[in-house]
Chain A
């Protein structure tokens, strides 16, 4: 049985935020969760490694404003691109 993308991403976020996965909500921003700029870059790395994907280049600070759900959506998009042999392929 496969955990959904959302479950997996939320678990990675919870680990980085050192919090319980239940406290990660789709509309929580990384800032809400106390994830600062450098930790956000680390979080992106952890997610990329976990799913074996590459997110498009973007400056780390922008992730401050992003929500947990937007990361899930970004993973789904990268996975779809990868399946199609496109940009997201590692």
Chain B
């Protein structure tokens, strides 16, 4: 639940009066052009930058709560360019993901095996350094790492960035399964509007730091005027 959120980098106001809500098991996609403030929004929600306004997570205000504490509360942020630990092995990355999970040791192993069942390629490479994986595999690892923390809300920043369409489809397919299986709230930032609208329940469009359109994805997808004014033809 976000209401009246403002965020800035120093003197530069990036986000103005942002309001939205995401329910459990629901996916909200945040669309908009480069530089519209989408990444800033996620960074504010995970405590990486300060914001004004009010944000509540499962009834609790989270303003000023440090990132590591938010992670323990169940907000997991998968940043742009994935943020995996390149020097550590796949296995170690997954162990780190499970640090803030409340599960016991056996459940943690089950969580890890579940990630391996979603992404068998990670299991094959579990001893390799994460930095040596391909872009798609790193994205799988980033999602897997988020998942083993047993999050309640997942913030995904452009998971399709720099990946082949085939891999993107694969990753998104799993993402929707995850969302339904784990009653996970997802806030998805995506350039690729058509794909995101296909998957998400609701959508907001941000232009120069403000929400200009919001509503169920179906309606936004069907509205040709929105399509033309905000997404252009090339993303479609």
Q: Do A and B associate with each other?
A: no
Interface residues of A (CB under 8 A from B): none
